[in-house]
């Protein structure tokens, strides 16, 4: 069900009325609610709302409810810079979250930097994002850290000559380079690299090309929607290669869209519903209850970010200066994706995500039992 | 060798899918000479209706497919009756824009009703597959092929042997003559929209099942591929559209085979341009078919432009100049700065589209060229920004004109589609030419605007710089249009045959217009690069081209003041509806439709 702004604000405001009409603390969000990336904006909202339900339900931060002001940018740089000016000149806003894609996020960075408003890009894995200024922070998993983990799992699965398919965007390119750097040290030789265009749906020729290099496995650096398409078409064309996909494929949609075509695929994930950590158990249970679906890595990232924001407000004061000082200092923030979050003050990023390997079995993600695929 | 068989089969399979969309587009173009940009949206609606039938009614395919077709036929009738028929008397550009508006509205409605999440549309067909070469084809592939062939056959039969079919063909040949002979052309048009939309909806359903994936953004890609395919086969030619689609699929598949996936669409558009330049009537045009109708003149509606007195212009500039001093919020300044940048693009487009009559659908690529030129000159060659931005204007003027030059002999729709193709190709070349453009990583750390060592990095300075540049460019263009050059451009627009008979070299004047236009657009892109500090191949997309075109038409084609007005209005409009979040693009689409309906010649009138 689409959540309207009104129900959202009402939901956020209710506990406040119950206690006392305290001034809310507001995070500005710049992201896509319409346009081609709107699905990711919708996932963000689910993550944010779930986190706020918990935070505001428990009385907010020092009696003040937390709200967010989601400004639609369509992830378009022309609109994200206007949104940035709007948010920096709004005295209620103490932190900015987003934008989604690099062109929109990084075009707005100079404005946030000048206004000394923290721009917290929780999906921005572009290595230069946090170099835009000392107020650009990100808890997005770094590809430099993630890809060696994926490569290790590829080696454990017995891949010696994998073919790599990646989304040909800044994200996919960063991921590919990091994987390629890690592969030789693990005894793997990547035999084919295919960068495909965003919004592509037909991968059959690409797969023939990959097949002709005689790989022993496919590695997908894709988002869940294209990952599912590739895996399906791999099976449709009769290729029996084992498939390993990166964390952004961890989504119930991967299975929904892939169907039998993703059965048996391996997907690396930073979290997993069966994870015994209390943060994960709580997050997954409440997410299922509220939305009647499984969470994915995008909603988990948004959830983590809102939890972090509440903690920053609580410990360092709900001011712009408080956010910047807090990010430099904060430690041990509970997180679904990372064990505990702390930022490296030099890179303004988070290290130490935990990576698990899952497998699609009977149309469900289960933890990989350790058996390598039969040599194909 | 066996791989080539696989590439061939895969190319045919995807071509098959393009054909379903292209046939509907060809049918509509054949009868009403209209590129129906809403066709992709009908296709998406069909997919969603199919999804709802499967999910909620658990209907079998034999029930779902006819339901989808009937519902989409109804939608087609509605589009024709409400959106297009009232525009019958106006210039051809009006219905074209109306289809863009309808498409926006339909896509947004889908997104609001069904959420933007992609959904699975699982095929209920049996899952057997036949091994061919190194791959397999399944029941669905055969069903899609059969649908394409059968619908083409039924259409052929309908057009040849039924009375309504004769009426459709008569209307396609000469609407006025058909009407004089007693053909109810409105009914014919409605029938055509119903048939084409039913086909469009069915193809959405089948393609959704094929990919097991539907989302509200599926419409634009479908329209784009469908348009390319039907141009290749010959605009308005139904069998040609099927052939064109298969050829397009094969070209893409072989293109991937030879050069890799990242070059894929480059081949579709290269094929498109090649066909347009060599055989503008399409591969299937027979020698006796009439040459493309000289639509150039009738494309733009003649009207009496609103005379803006000089004093009003000066007053408007003065007001714009003191806005930052009057305590406007930085947000307002930023929105207006965007508007000035858009206005530079709009005056560029209004020159080529309005004054010269060459509707460009790929104008955003000029921004890309300008942005990369200025950014790379500043970063790699260490040019100061005050020099790199004008240089970017010159580079864009040269490069833009050189790219479009082979298409100078094309007219009306054909030129528009060529510009669409060139625009997409520029983006793909930037993505793939890594050694120069840094590929998908984009260009980071672009220095801010500066003059004489002073950084203009606050909203006020950026506002004044863009406003100043815009005023300069706009005055130059106004001056230019009052000279003999302006008269010559209009002569070419109104009747190129007569113009040529008067000794006007069409190619030379077109080159001048595109160069002047390219300069303004390049400057706009260049300034934007320095304001954003980061650009990549997706910074300026085809939606920017469409926005620019709507701005130009809103203001009145060829009208410089109108273009500036259009840019301000259409930049401000979505910002004003910001409070309505998900609904704002819907409101934008509706506003566009109303505008086309009630003032197709634009607010300031065409000149």
Burial of residue B314 (CB within 10 Å: 0-12, 13-18, 19+) is: exposed
Distance, in angstroms, between B301 CA and closest chain A CA? Answer: 31
Domains of chain B and CATH, by start: 2-125+135-283 (1.10.3470), 305-598 (1.10.3470)
Nearest to A202 among B14, B331, B578 (CB): B14
Predicted pLDDT of residue B233: 83
Token pair for residue A76? Answer: 């378009």
Let me know: does A258 contact A223? Beta carbons within 8 Å.
no
* B460–A contact, CB cutoff 8 A: no
Q: Which residues of A touch B131 (CB under 8 A)?
A: 238
DSSP state of B119: B
**3-state secondary structure (DSSP) of residue B292:** coil
- Are A21 and A128 contained in the same domain? yes
Contact A82 B439 (CB under 8 A): no
Q: Count the Cβ atoms, other than its own, within 10 Å of residue B11.
A: 25
Neighbour order of strands in the sheet with A136-137: A66-72, A25-31, A93-98, A119-120, A136-137
CB B172 within 8 A of CB B188: no
Q: How far is A372 from chain B (nearest CA, A)?
A: 26
Are residues A42 and B116, on separate chains, in Cβ contact within 8 Å?
yes
Mutation site for A-interface testing, chosen from B245, B338, B543, B581 by largest number of A Cβ within 10 Å? B581
Same domain, yes or no: A263 and A286 = no
CA distance linking residue B428 with residue B241, whole number of Å: 25
CATH number at residue A22: 3.40.50.2300
What is the Cα gyration radius of chain B?
24
Chain A closest-CA separation from residue B581 CA (Å)? 6
In a domain, A131, yes or no: yes
Which domain covers residue A249, as residue numbers?
Answer: 143-269+356-367
Q: Is residue A374 part of a domain?
A: no
**How far apart, in Å, are the Cα atoms of B466 and each of A2, B30, B351, B457?**
39, 44, 20, 12
Query: Which chain A residue has its CA at the smallest distance from B336's CA?
Result: A82
Is residue A131 located within the same domain as residue A150?
no
Query: Two tokens at B358?
Result: 């060459």
Give CA–CA dist B314/B326, Å, rounded.
18
Higher-pLDDT residue of B326 and A68 is A68
The answer to whether the beta carbons of residues B342 and B547 sit under 8 Å apart is yes
Q: Does any CB of chain A come closer than 8 Å to the CB of residue B1?
A: no
Smallest Cα distance from B135 to chain A, Å? 4
> What residues 573-592 of chain B have any CB closer than 8 A to a CB of chain A?
574-575, 578, 581-582, 584-585
d(CA B474, CA B467): 10
A226 and A244 both lie in a single domain: yes
Min CA distance, B183 vs chain A (Å)? 42
Distance CA B10, CA B254 (A): 9
CB contacts, 8 Å: B333 with chain A: 85
pLDDT score for B83: 86
- Name every chain B residue with its beta carbon within 8 A of the beta carbon of A230: none
Are A248 and A360 within one domain?
yes
B466 touches chain A (CB under 8 A): no
Helix (H, G, I), strand (E, B) or coil at A193: strand
Asked whether residue A317 is domain-assigned, the answer is yes
Phi/psi for B443 (5° steps) reads: -105, 120
Q: Per the domain annotation, does A351 fall within a domain?
A: no
The residue of chain A with its CA nearest to that of B216 is: A36
Answer yes or no: do A154 and A196 share one domain: yes
Nearest CB to A208; choose among B7, B212, B574? B7
* pLDDT for residue A10 is more than 70: no
**Do residues A123 and A170 both lie within one domain?**
no
Dist. CA A24–CA A159, nearest whole Å: 52
When CB atoms are compared, the residue of A2, A170, A203 closest to B441 is A170
> Quick one: DSSP state of residue A64?
B
Partner-chain contact B215 A225, CB within 8 Å:
yes
ipTM value of the model?
0.87
**What whole-number distance in Å separates Cα of residue A307 and Cα of residue A289?**
19
Quote the minimal CA–CA distance from B583 to chain A in Å. 8
Question: Are A225 and A253 a contacting pair, CB within 8 Å?
Answer: yes
Looking at the DSSP assignment, which residues form a beta bridge with residue A245?
A220, A267
A372 within domain boundaries: no
Measured between alpha carbons, how far apart are the two ends of chain B, in Å? 59
Q: Does B290 touch chain A (CB under 8 A)?
A: no
Residue of A35, A103, A109 with shortest CB distance to B536: A103
**Pairwise CB contact (< 8 Å): B264 & A131:** no
Give per-residue pLDDT as tens, B326-383: 888 888 999 999 999 999 999 999 999 888 888 888 999 999 999 999 999 999 999 9
Closest residue on chain B to A77 (Cα): B539
Shared domain check, A130 and A53: yes
DSSP string covering A132-186, please?
G-TTEE--SPPHHHHHHHHHHHHHHTT-SSEEEEEESSHHHHHHHHHHHHHTGGG
Burial code of A87-126, b = ≥16 C-beta within 10 A, e = fewer? bbbbeebbbbbbbbbbbbbbbbbbbbbbbebbbbbbbbbb
Rounded-to-integer distance, Cα B144 and Cα B142, Å: 5
Residue B127 half-sphere exposure toward CB, CA atoms < 13 A: 12
Cα separation, A36 vs A225, in Å, equals 13
Parts of chain B with a pLDDT under 50:
1, 287-288, 291-298
Q: Are residues A246 and A296 in the same domain?
A: no
Separation in Å, CA of A31 to nearest CA in chain B: 11
Strand order in the sheet with A364-367: A192-196, A162-167, A217-221, A243-245, A266-269, A356-361, A364-367
The distance of B211 to chain A (nearest Cα, Å) reads: 7
**C-alpha radius of gyration, chain A, whole number:** 21
Give the pLDDT score at B433. 92
Cα B273 vs. chain centroid, distance in angstroms? 15
- Residue B440: list chain A partners with CB under 8 A: 168-170, 172-173, 195
Contact list in A for residue B122 (CB cut-off 8 A) is: 259
Gap between the Cα atoms of A10 and A49, Å rounded = 12
Co-location of A136 and A149 in the same domain: no
Instruction: Please give the pLDDT value at position A11.
Output: 46
Q: What is the pLDDT of residue A2?
A: 45
* pTM over cut 0.90: no
Where residue A121 falls among pLDDT bands split at 50, 70, 90?
very high
Sign for the CA dihedral angle at B107, B113, B119, B123 comes to: negative
CA of A120: how far to CAs of A105, A296, B109, B133, in Å? 10, 20, 31, 51
For A305-356, write each residue's pLDDT tens digit.
Answer: 999 999 999 999 999 999 999 999 998 898 888 878 889 888 899 877 888 8
End-to-end CA distance of chain A: 43
Answer whether residue A167 is part of any domain. yes
Contact between chains at B532 and A77 (C-beta distance less than 8 A): yes
Sign for the CA dihedral angle at B127, B129, B134, B135 comes to: negative
Question: In whole angstroms, what is the distance from residue A87 CA to residue A84 CA?
Answer: 5
Residue A15 pLDDT more than 50? no
Q: Nearest CA to CA, how far is A327 from chain B (Å)?
A: 24
Pairing of strands A192-196, B450-451: unpaired
What's the pLDDT at B122? Answer: 86
Q: Any idea how long chain B is?
A: 607
CB contact under 8 A, A208 and B584: no
Q: What is the pLDDT of residue B587?
A: 80
Is residue A88's pLDDT more than 90?
A: yes
Of B115, B253, B585, the CB nearest to A205: B253
> Between A33, A198, A238, which is nearest B581 by CB?
A33
**For testing contact with chain A, the best of B121, B213, B368 (most A CBs within 10 A):** B213
Q: For chain A, what is the domain count?
A: 2
- Which residues, at least 6 apart from B2, have a Cβ–Cβ distance to it below 8 Å? B133, B134
Across the interface, whether the CB atoms of A196 and B264 are under 8 A apart is answered: yes
Q: Smallest Cβ distance to B539: which of A77, A197, A205?
A: A77
| DSSP code at position B535 | B
- Pick from B23, B16, B20, B29: nearest CA to B416: B29
Q: Which residues of A touch B252 (CB under 8 A)?
A: 202, 205
The pLDDT of A9-16, averaged and rounded, is 45
Closest by Cα among B343, B292, B293, B358 to B507:
B358
Q: Is A323 domain-assigned?
A: yes
Nearest chain A residue to B11 by CA: give it. Answer: A205
Q: What phi and psi, each to the nearest 5 degrees, are found at residue B118?
A: -70, 150
Mutation pick from A80, A82, A263 vs chain B, by most beta carbons of B within 10 Å, is A82
**Across the strands, what pairs with B600?**
none
**Cβ-Cβ contacts under 8 Å, B6 against chain A:** 208, 237
Cβ-contact A188, A160 below 8 angstroms:
yes
Rounded Cα–Cα distance for residues A241 and A216 (Å): 6
Q: Is residue A85 assigned to a domain?
A: yes
Token digits of residue A13: 């405001």
Regarding whether A129 and A69 lie in a shared domain, the answer is yes
- CA-CA distances (angstroms) from residue A368 to A153, A264, A267, A372, A373? 11, 10, 9, 9, 11
- Chain B residues in contact with A35 (beta carbon < 8 A): 217, 585
The distance between the two most distant Cα atoms of chain A, rounded to a whole number of Å, is 68
Same domain, A54 and A165: no
Neighbouring C-alpha atoms within 13 Å toward the C-beta of A259: 18
- Identify the pLDDT of residue A17: 44
Record: contact B261-A194, CB cut-off 8 A = yes
Distance from CA of B542 to the nearest CA of A (A): 12
Structure tokens at B11: 């190319």
- As given in the structure block, the two tokens for residue B236 are 């308005």
Distance from C-alpha of B193 to C-alpha of B203, rounded to nearest angstrom: 15
């Amino acid at each position: 069900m689409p959540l309207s702004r009104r129900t959202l604000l009402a939901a956020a405001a209710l506990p406040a009325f119950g206690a006392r009409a305290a001034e809310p603390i507001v995070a500005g969000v710049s992201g896509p609610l319409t346009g081609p990336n709107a699905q990711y904006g919708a996932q963000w909202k689910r993550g944010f709302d779930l986190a706020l339900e918990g935070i505001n339900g428990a009385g907010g931060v020092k009696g003040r409810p937390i709200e967010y002001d989601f400004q639609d940018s369509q992830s378009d740089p022309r609109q994200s810079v206007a949104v940035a000016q709007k948010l920096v000149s709004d005295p209620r806003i103490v932190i900015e979250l987003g934008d989604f894609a690099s062109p929109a996020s990084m075009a707005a960075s100079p404005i946030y930097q000048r206004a000394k408003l923290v721009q917290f890009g929780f999906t921005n894995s572009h290595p230069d994002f946090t170099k835009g200024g000392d107020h650009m922070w990100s808890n997005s998993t770094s590809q430099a850290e993630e890809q060696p983990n994926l490569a290790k799992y590829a080696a454990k699965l017995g891949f010696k000559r994998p073919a790599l398919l990646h989304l040909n965007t800044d994200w996919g390119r960063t991921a590919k380079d990091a994987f390629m750097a890690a592969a030789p040290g693990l005894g793997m030789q990547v035999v084919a690299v295919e960068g495909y265009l965003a919004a592509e749906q037909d991968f059959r020729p690409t797969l023939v090309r990959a097949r002709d290099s005689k790989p022993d496995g496919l590695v997908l650096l894709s988002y869940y929607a294209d990952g599912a398409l590739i895996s399906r078409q791999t099976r449709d064309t009769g290729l029996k290669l084992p498939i390993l996909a990166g964390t952004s494929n961890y989504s119930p949609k991967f299975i929904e869209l892939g169907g039998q075509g993703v059965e048996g695929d391996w997907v690396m994930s930073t979290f997993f519903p069966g994870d015994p950590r209390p943060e994960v158990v709580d997050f997954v249970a409440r997410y299922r209850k509220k939305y009647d679906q499984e969470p994915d890595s995008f909603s988990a990232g948004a959830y983590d970010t809102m939890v972090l924001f509440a903690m920053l407000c609580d410990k360092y004061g709900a001011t712009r200066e408080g956010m910047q000082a807090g990010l430099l200092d904060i430690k041990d923030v509970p997180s679904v994706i990372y064990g505990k979050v702390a930022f490296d003050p030099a890179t303004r990023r988070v290290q130490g995500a935990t990576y698990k390997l899952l497998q699609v079995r009977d149309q469900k993600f289960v933890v990989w039992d350790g058996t390598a695929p039969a040599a194909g | 060798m066996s791989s080539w068989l696989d590439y061939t089969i895969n190319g045919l399979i995807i071509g098959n899918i393009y054909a379903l969309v292209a046939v509907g587009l060809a049918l509509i173009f054949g009868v009403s000479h209209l590129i129906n940009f809403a066709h992709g949206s009908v296709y998406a609606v069909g997919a969603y209706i199919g999804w709802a039938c499967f999910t909620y009614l658990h209907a079998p395919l034999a029930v779902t497919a006819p339901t989808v077709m009937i519902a989409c036929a109804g939608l087609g009738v509605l589009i024709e009756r409400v959106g297009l028929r009232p525009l019958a008397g106006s210039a051809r550009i009006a219905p074209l824009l109306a289809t863009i508006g309808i498409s926006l509205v339909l896509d947004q409605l889908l997104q609001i009703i069904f959420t933007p999440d992609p959904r699975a549309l699982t095929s209920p067909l049996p899952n057997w597959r036949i091994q061919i070469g190194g791959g397999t084809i399944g029941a669905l592939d055969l069903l899609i092929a059969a649908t394409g062939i059968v619908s083409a056959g039924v259409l052929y039969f309908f057009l040849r042997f039924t009375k309504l079919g004769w009426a459709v063909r008569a209307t396609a040949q000469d609407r006025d003559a058909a009407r004089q002979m007693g053909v109810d052309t409105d009914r014919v048009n409605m029938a055509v929209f119903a048939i084409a939309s039913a086909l469009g909806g069915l193809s959405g359903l089948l393609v959704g099942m094929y990919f097991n994936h539907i989302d509200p953004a599926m419409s634009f890609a479908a329209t784009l591929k469908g348009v390319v395919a039907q141009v290749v086969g010959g605009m308005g030619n139904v069998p040609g559209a099927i052939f064109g689609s298969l050829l397009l699929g094969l070209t893409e598949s072989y293109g991937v085979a030879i050069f890799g996936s990242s070059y894929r669409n480059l081949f579709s558009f290269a094929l498109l341009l090649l066909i347009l330049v060599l055989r503008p009537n399409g591969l299937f045009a027979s020698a006796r078919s009439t040459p493309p109708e000289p639509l150039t003149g009738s494309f733009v509606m003649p009207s009496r432009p609103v005379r803006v007195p000089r004093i009003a212009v000066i007053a408007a500039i003065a007001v714009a100049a003191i806005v930052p001093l009057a305590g406007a919020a930085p947000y307002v300044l930023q929105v207006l700065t965007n508007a000035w940048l858009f206005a530079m693009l709009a005056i560029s487009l209004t020159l080529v589209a309005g004054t010269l009559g060459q509707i460009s659908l790929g104008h955003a690529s000029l921004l890309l060229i300008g942005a990369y030129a200025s950014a790379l000159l500043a970063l790699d060659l260490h040019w100061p920004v005050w020099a790199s931005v004008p240089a970017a204007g010159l580079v864009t003027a040269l490069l833009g004109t050189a790219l479009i030059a082979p298409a100078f002999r094309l007219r009306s729709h054909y030129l528009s589609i060529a510009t669409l193709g060139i625009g997409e190709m520029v983006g793909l070349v930037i993505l793939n030419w890594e050694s120069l453009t840094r590929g998908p990583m984009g260009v980071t750390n672009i220095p801010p605007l500066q003059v004489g060592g002073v950084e203009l990095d606050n909203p006020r300075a950026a506002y004044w710089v863009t406003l100043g540049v815009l005023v300069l460019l706009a005055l130059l263009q106004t001056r230019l249009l009052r000279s003999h050059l302006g008269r010559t451009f209009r002569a070419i627009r109104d009747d190129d045959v007569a113009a040529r008979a008067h000794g006007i070299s069409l190619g030379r004047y077109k080159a001048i217009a595109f160069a002047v236009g390219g300069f303004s657009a390049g400057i706009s892109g260049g300034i934007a690069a320095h304001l954003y500090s980061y650009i990549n191949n997706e910074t300026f997309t085809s939606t920017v081209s469409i926005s620019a075109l709507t701005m130009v038409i809103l203001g009145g084609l060829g009208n410089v003041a109108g273009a500036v007005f259009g840019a301000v209005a259409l930049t401000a409009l979505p910002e004003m509806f910001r409070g309505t979040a998900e609904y704002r693009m819907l409101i934008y689409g509706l506003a566009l439709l109303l505008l086309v309906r009630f003032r197709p010649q634009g607010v300031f009138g065409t000149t």
